[in-house]
Structure 1
């Protein structure tokens, strides 16, 4: 059994991470500057800043499950392509906007490009179970890198490009992501023995009842609620503390670098102990401490910096860990639907965070936003206390014959019917079959099918 990523998995990991990263960089680029550089827009207020920051989350939340289902039925790449086109259209609308209201409309159109569930599902299709956590970690890490670069680049680019230029740049990034999808991302044929690959509403109810998936869905919702609420309040809190808008990057850059370094011991502990639960709870606790420091440190750039470092240490770990966990807990054949629910929760949280953050800041100030985060994380920590580690299965790589698409589908169906087979992923271009199996699996029976 291979211990590392094979060439197709490496290509899938980095190309899909590039697609996700380019798109998220464009979304994140606006977050640290809209509250400070958008003050000349008609209708500007902290509440509308929050709505504009989180507006993409509303349409993303509404469309993630339909997009996940569509990716199961019509293909991952087709859904990703349409989503990136809509994202570019929304970026153009926001670029020509002269009011905060039209910026919010543009952000909502950006959210119409709901490709997250399709990207994560395609990543799962292209990887063996034993290697999937690594691939998901690569994607999560690219999100973290995109976020870091956006926090630094946003304030710097806004000085010369303005908000309009940043949105135009975002449109160009979505076009670049389209090129990556159609030139670098591999194709896969995937079959699962239990359930239909086409998700239906009746199956969503069963996924929502799964306690482990429900905990992960709640986690990503609250995580993104906190992110958007923070970036309504934090830029304005930094201004009040005496740090000019064009100097915000001097806080974000070292803070994020320290956060990445601080995340490494958490990852190493989880790998050494073969556990997800302990590192997960520790990361949540770090974010709670961060919100407490931010709430108590209002008016001090130094204490706000400490809070940001703690917050993003936990955030970076969780952003990398959650996609891997949701993939490993998802029932075979339901990845598109499970990840659609997960992404719905993620972007719904982003919208709620923007609205709550903007409303609370406008009514009570930044400290109230940070206190809300602290209280929410206390509840989160308690809810996740009964979190479990995902079950273990074996993953095998077998040589498969060269086959066209129809033959590959028939072979994948035959393999998926064997006793003990949990999942089959067949990649014709690599002449390989990847099987996720339980102890009752008969290896010789599978080899017989592949050689006949």
Structure 2
């Protein structure tokens, strides 16, 4: 890679990292802290959690289209500015309705597809895989950091501190965008046929549906897990002492598997969906969490399966996508990803309001495990037929 390509990859990785931190930073504690806001209800908390992803889902394709017409950097500036304004508003409110609006503004910074297109514009074809490795490492690191920092910041400064941190990250992302070299891009009118073909392709649809379900399960789980812990034997344990060991164990365990199975990774998806379902099923045994290491082991299994699926699906996507329509394909993929996160927040809230009345909140994880098992079976059948 040339010096310019390395600079571009690292700056894009920085933008990705701040965006992913903005998505995941609040996950460990949001459902508990938001309960103290004026006017909060389980539904509104779930809406505040998920509307960020809904806004992202709705705007990914339009943002990609606009970047084709007016240029990547202009769209990056606009999206990251919305992200910053929403973060500042969220940090300074104590009202759940205002927070919902703030999260909507945050989500309007829909730049994931634009960043992927930036890679294609700025980095030579034979070096793009290296650039994606750099970006992938940044995303993985942000995932770990979000659960470490999220718990620390929440303990010290509460929900306002979490969003103030996100505002600082947004400001950093704007600086990264300013420092990006101008891409070698030919401005053009968006080709609707690429969008239609990408949306209707059966193989791409399989990948998109899987990422939607994956992020729906993640959002729903992290709406319910903090509440489940607070009501159980581990209520006195800090969330950081539970989350961090689990994430580190999963991160260390999954690395060798991904590195040694690049060619066959997609064929292992049904197995890892089954492992993911098993982890969700084990969460239903909330009464058994009398020892912190039992919970850590289950959560590590959850992240182990999630991380593998999360890494393999984009790789599979770009195996199937045409070189000339990667931006459109990644935009559609992002719509499903963030749409799944939005639905997951609402699903978590619905399960909580329905099941907590009968003191059987842990049964919510039976339902999530059942849905995930269906995906595992469907993926296995499709692979056998394909």
Note whether the superposition's TM-score is higher than 0.5. yes
**Counterpart position of 2:274:** 285
**Counterpart position of 1:375:** 370
Per-residue displacement from partner, 1:161-208 (whole Å, max 9, x unpaired)?
22112212211110101111221x3333257xxxx9643444322111
8 Å contact 1:27–1:170 — kept in the other structure? no
- Provide closer, same or farther for how the CA distance between residues 160 and 345 of structure 1 changes in structure 2, counting only shifts above 3 A: same
Per-residue displacement from partner, 1:239-282 (whole Å, max 9, x unpaired)?
112334770000111100000011023212313xx233234333
Partner Cα distance (1:171, 1:188) in 2? 26
Q: C-alpha displacement at 1:125, in angstroms?
A: 3.0
8 Å contact 2:266–2:316 — kept in the other structure? no
8 Å contact 1:46–1:232 — kept in the other structure? no
**Counterpart position of 2:199:** 208
1:92 to 88, 97, 120: 88
Which of the pair is proportionally richer in strand?
Answer: 1
Matched, 1:35 2:31: yes
8 Å contact 2:245–2:296 — kept in the other structure? no
Q: C-alpha displacement at 1:76, in angstroms?
A: 1.8
**Counterpart position of 2:103:** 107
Please, which moves more after superposition, 289-298 or 25-34? Answer: 289-298
8 Å contact 1:240–1:299 — kept in the other structure? no
Partner Cα distance (1:151, 1:200) in 2? 40
- Provide closer, same or farther for how the CA distance between residues 281 and 14 of structure 1 changes in structure 2, counting only shifts above 3 A: farther
8 Å contact 2:88–2:167 — kept in the other structure? yes
**Counterpart position of 2:62:** 66
Please, which moves more after superposition, 96-105 or 168-177? Answer: 96-105
Matched, 1:259 2:258: no
Partner Cα distance (1:292, 1:112) in 2? 35
Matched, 1:237 2:213: no
**2:322 aligns to what SS in structure 1?**
coil
2:182 to 175, 184, 187: 187
Partner Cα distance (1:286, 1:369) in 2? 18
**1:30 aligns to what SS in structure 2?**
coil
Matched, 1:333 2:324: yes
**1:39 aligns to what SS in structure 2?**
helix
Q: C-alpha displacement at 1:134, in angstroms?
A: 3.9
Partner Cα distance (2:347, 2:135) in 1? 29
Per-residue displacement from partner, 1:40-87 (whole Å, max 9, x unpaired)?
211223332221111101111111110111122222222111110000
Q: C-alpha displacement at 1:90, in angstroms?
A: 0.8
**Counterpart position of 1:309:** 300
Please, which moves more after superposition, 201-210 or 15-24? Answer: 201-210
Matched, 1:151 2:147: yes
Using the size of structure 1 for normalisation, the TM-score is: 0.78
- Provide closer, same or farther for how the CA distance between residues 308 and 147 of structure 1 changes in structure 2, counting only shifts above 3 A: same
Number of residue-to-residue matches in the alignment: 377
Structure 1 residue ranges, 4+ long, deviating more than 6 angstroms after superposition: none
Per-residue displacement from partner, 1:319-355 (whole Å, max 9, x unpaired)?
3333333233222322221111111111110110000
Runs of 5+ consecutive residues of structure 1 not aligned to the other structure:
389-452
8 Å contact 1:215–1:387 — kept in the other structure? no
Partner Cα distance (2:5, 2:277) in 1? 36
2:118 to 115, 118, 122: 122
**2:362 aligns to what SS in structure 1?**
helix
Partner Cα distance (2:28, 2:143) in 1? 10
- Provide closer, same or farther for how the CA distance between residues 362 and 198 of structure 1 changes in structure 2, counting only shifts above 3 A: same
**1:187 aligns to what SS in structure 2?**
coil
| Pairs within 5 Å for 1:391-410 | none
Q: C-alpha displacement at 1:155, in angstroms?
A: 1.8
Q: C-alpha displacement at 1:380, in angstroms?
A: 1.9
Partner Cα distance (2:363, 2:65) in 1? 39
Which of the pair is proportionally richer in helix?
Answer: 2
- Provide closer, same or farther for how the CA distance between residues 325 and 277 of structure 1 changes in structure 2, counting only shifts above 3 A: closer
- Provide closer, same or farther for how the CA distance between residues 384 and 199 of structure 1 changes in structure 2, counting only shifts above 3 A: farther
**Counterpart position of 1:220:** 211
- Provide closer, same or farther for how the CA distance between residues 202 and 343 of structure 1 changes in structure 2, counting only shifts above 3 A: same
Please, which moves more after superposition, 300-309 or 145-154? Answer: 300-309
CA RMSD of aligned residues (A): 2.3
